[in-house]
A and B are shown apart, each in its own frame.
Chain A
Amino acid sequence: QSALTQPASVSGSPGQSITISCTGTSSDVGIYNLVSWYQQQPGQAPKSMIYEVIKRPSGVSNRFSGSKSGNTASLTISGLRAEDEAHYYCSSYGGSRGWVFGGGTKVTVL
């Protein structure tokens, strides 16, 4: 059982926008602006897409955006492309627990 809750799968057609949610508690997502999102392609290490809730690392497309409301963070992918098909994981700082991850969401481009 992961500390953060994500939907197992989300799908969309090319060009559409999709949103992946990441629900935590008032001890992690709700209190710290230290939510990150990672993309993982098959057989590869995770890649940072969003850090500190809303910030994008250099080189990450602006089609990826992050937000947070209360205990739930979200990753939105706009203008969905075939290459966005991957697993996405959220993580948050959890204070005394250290860092916690979500269970991951498989994004399928229809």
Chain B
Amino acid sequence: EVQLVQSGAEVKKPGESLKISCKGSGYSFTSYWIGWVRQMPGKGLEWMGIIYPGDSDTRYSPSFQGQVTISADKSISTAYLQWSSLKASDTAMYYCARLTGHGFDPWGQGTLVTVSS
């Protein structure tokens, strides 16, 4: 079974750093792009960026370029999304998903990030 399992919920203070993870299993992790999607409370889906774990080629949405860093460690089949200095406006659910010719499928269960002083 193809599966993406994300790290658990995080509560952070403004200005802190954070790295969340997405571990793939059941398929060749290096052969598919992984995307990250933000969903702010009560809002829609926003594509943040994608990474190809095979060679770490990374593409960012202009809205998120410079705001986050996407990386991957193919040796442990894990993709990451990180912030160097969180803001309250980063409070959201973050999903990873595998990109295929069909779109994003499957999706991880989501990681809730709460940033509050």
Decide whether A and B are members of one complex. no
By a beta-carbon cutoff of 8 Å, the part of chain A in contact with chain B is none
By a beta-carbon cutoff of 8 Å, the part of chain B in contact with chain A is none
